[in-house]
Amino acid sequence: MNEIESSIPQMRGPADHNVRDQIVEAAETHFSHYGYEKTTVSDLAKAIGFSKAYIYKFFDSKQAIGEAICSKTLSAIVAAVEEAVAGATTPTEKFRRMFKTLASTGVSLFFNDRKLYDIAAYSAGEGWPSAQAYCERIRQILTEVVREGRESGEFERKTPLDETVHVIDLVMKPYVNPLLLQYNLDVAEEAPVQLSNLVLRSLAP
Amino acid sequence: MNEIESSIPQMRGPADHNVRDQIVEAAETHFSHYGYEKTTVSDLAKAIGFSKAYIYKFFDSKQAIGEAICSKTLSAIVAAVEEAVAGATTPTEKFRRMFKTLASTGVSLFFNDRKLYDIAAYSAGEGWPSAQAYCERIRQILTEVVREGRESGEFERKTPLDETVHVIDLVMKPYVNPLLLQYNLDVAEEAPVQLSNLVLRSLAP
DNA sequence: CAAGTGACCAAATTAGATTATAGTCACAAC
DNA sequence: GTTGTGACTATAATCTAATTTGGTCACTTG
């Protein structure tokens, strides 16, 4: 399970420090139990047996801790997607699984870890780096799948790659972005299948 | 400009009554100036020179008035779409204009009549009949365009009509539904063009 | 110098008391 | 029967004071 340590969200002190990990760990359990807003920085401090002030030696703000947790949460989705893509042989199948996994993992997060989902949705709404990095990573994976499909002759090559990826990104957006996904829960299981068909038809050479 | 008098949202008294129209008129100006929440039923009563109680002879609730205004607002979008579709010759062009008009009218509502937009968004979020009827009407128009395209041989005919319409509906949803549109404002002008291309490619016979 | 904290402040949040509002009803005027 | 209302209630919105909370900093301790 690889983290999104991307873009180094505001943090202080040594990057690898036992206490930093303790904070993140405590934050993960507290946030998922009581939610981001209901847990105070003092709660986290108490949980690891330090003073509140010490927390701020490692994180710039409470939001920075939130972003760290958000990154962890979203990187779990990314990991699931990467696994799904790796488990498929053809680019067509990779795309199908990518889209389906993306949506179903998101839905599952919504129902099984609502509090963490809410952080992700808020993060996406506020344009936090953690959410941006996530979207960017999804786009990278998509780009790789499309490129592979082009190279294997499965997908058309006339349209510029960026353009193709961008429009597919638009199609997937309502199921990728946690802020939007919550409004599409009713179709989130079936839509990826149908939309994959549509996209793949448009991708035919 | 044809109203969506559909599904008869909760109302009382004679359907066509001068006072009813006065209420709707007052509500339209008040809601668009001060917003739905900030205007009270008493405000509307005062505006038309009757008592608050009399309002309830014509509408079941404040929400019913809100739905009436929402229907009017959304039917303006429908009218714009119908006009755009009527102004095009080929089904392909009809679809392009339909999608583009839908999005740009919605965006324009957001920026020029924010208070009314908010009612529409709220309506969509709560699943009010006014918003449902709107979505249903859009789907009808889309169905007609697709059917015409199939009959003229411009679009493929293998896939069941319902299925095709449903998946295109999914693609347009983020720009049709006011609740979702507000999160897609940044791409709402360009996306319809690109997504139309994608949809039309997938619709090729 | 590295690890750690209590005391402090401004801004946000809560809780509780108060007011405003949606909605009803019995009743009057015509 | 139709048109219309003032008086009423329960609930939701709003205001205010008191409390919490995010965040900083000077200061120990080893």
Mean pLDDT of A161-167: 96
How far, in Å, is the CA of B176 from the C1' of nucleotide D12? 32
Half-sphere exposure of B99 (CA within 13 A, CB side): 28
pLDDT at res. B5: 41
pLDDT at res. B205: 87
Query: Which tokens go with A58?
Result: 């490692």
Mean pLDDT of A66-91: 96
* Phi, psi torsion values for B190, nearest 5 degrees: -90, -35
How far, in Å, is the CA of A38 from the C1' of nucleotide C13? 11
pLDDT at res. B27: 95
pLDDT at res. B18: 84
Contact B70, B125 (CB under 8 A): no
Q: How close is the nearest chain A Cα to the Cα of B60, in Å?
A: 28
Least Cα distance to B4 among B176, B167, B140 occurs for: B140
Cβ contact, residue pair B183, A180, below 8 Å = yes
Cβ contact, residue pair A167, B195, below 8 Å = yes
Nearest nucleotide to the CA of A19, by C1', is C3
pLDDT at res. B12: 57
Mean pLDDT of A149-159: 94
Cβ contact, residue pair B198, A194, below 8 Å = no
Per the document, the length of chain A is 205
pLDDT band at A2; cut points 50, 70, 90: very low
Mean pLDDT of A89-93: 95
How far, in Å, is the CA of B65 from the C1' of nucleotide D1? 26
Mean pLDDT of A153-161: 94
B18-60 matches B64-203 in fold: no
Q: What is the pLDDT of residues A47-62, one digit of tens each?
A: 999 999 999 999 999 9
Contact B12, B19 (CB under 8 A): no
Query: Which tokens go with B24?
Result: 């709707």
pLDDT band at A18; cut points 50, 70, 90: confident
Kindly give, in sequence order, each residue whose CB lies less than 8 Å from that of residue B120, ignoring residues fewer than 6 positions away: B70, B73, B74, B109, B131, B178
| Least confident among A6-10, A87-91, A155-159, A192-196 | A6-10
Q: Please provide the CATH number assigned to the domain covering B18-60.
A: 1.10.10.60
Handedness of CA A197, A200, A201, A202 (dihedral sign): positive
Least Cα distance to A10 among A19, A20, A25 occurs for: A20
Contact B73, B120 (CB under 8 A): yes
Query: Which tokens go with A43?
Result: 């709660």
Show residues of chain A in contact with B191, CB under 8 Å.
170
Q: What is the pLDDT of residues B48-76, one digit of tens each?
A: 999 999 999 999 999 999 999 999 999 99
pLDDT at res. B13: 55
- Calculate what percentage of chain A has a pLDDT beyond 90: 89
pLDDT above 50 for A4: no
CB burial of B43-68 (b: ≥16 within 10 Å; e: otherwise) equals: ebbebbebeeeebbebbeebbbbbbb
Q: What is the DSSP letter of B11?
A: B
- Domain boundaries defined on chain A: 18-60, 66-203
Within B 15-54, residues with CB less than 7 Å from strand C: 39-42, 52-53
Rounded Cα gap, residues B20 and B8, in angstroms: 14
pLDDT band at A155; cut points 50, 70, 90: very high
pLDDT at res. B16: 58
Kindly give, in sequence order, each residue whose CB lies less than 8 Å from that of residue A4, ignoring residues fewer than 6 positions away: A71, A72, A74, A75, A78, A130, A133, A134, A137
DSSP state string for A95-157: HHHHHHHHHHHHHHHHHH-HHHHHHHHHHHHHT-HHHHHHHHHHHHHHHHHHHHHHHTTSS--
Mean pLDDT of A101-129: 95
Question: Which amino acid appears at position B115 of this protein?
Answer: K
- What is the pTM (predicted TM-score) of this model? 0.88
Q: Please provide the CATH number assigned to the domain covering A66-203.
A: 1.10.357.10
For chain B, positions 113-142, list CB contacts with chain A under 8 A: 125
Nucleotides of C under 7 A from a protein CB: 3-7, 13-14, 20-26
- Calculate what percentage of chain A has a pLDDT beyond 70: 92
pLDDT tens track of chain B, all 205 residues? 333 343 345 555 555 578 899 999 999 999 999 999 999 999 999 999 999 999 999 999 999 999 999 999 999 999 999 999 999 999 999 999 999 999 999 999 999 999 999 999 999 999 899 999 999 999 999 999 999 999 999 999 999 999 999 999 999 999 999 999 999 999 999 999 999 999 999 999 8
Mean pLDDT of A134-141: 96
Q: Which fold has domain B64-203?
A: Tetracycline Repressor; domain 2 (1.10.357)
Least Cα distance to A97 among A47, A203, A89 occurs for: A89
Rounded to the nearest integer, the mean pLDDT of chain A is 91
Q: Is B49 left (phi over 0), alpha (psi -120 to 50) or beta?
A: left
